[in-house]
Amino acid sequence: MGWGVFRNDTIVRFPNWLIRGIAMQNKRVARKIRKEAMQQASRRFYSGN
């Protein structure tokens, strides 16, 4: 089963592998952003600003 998105009363279907790939990329990007945010927060904490 794939996801359907309604657009002007027509359904655009996305295959599962595409959804899975986007989800995996989002997870990877989110992890990278979270890591950078943690590093910035710790840097700010240690510098005392």
The tens-digit pLDDT sequence of the chain (49 residues) is 455 555 555 555 677 777 788 888 888 888 998 899 888 888 877 766 5
Domains in the chain: boundaries: 3-47
pTM above 0.75, yes or no: no
Which are the contacts of 16, defined by CB distance < 8 A and separation ≥ 6?
A: 1, 2
Alpha-carbon distances, residue 14 vs 1, 6, 24, 28, 29 (angstroms): 9, 12, 15, 21, 21
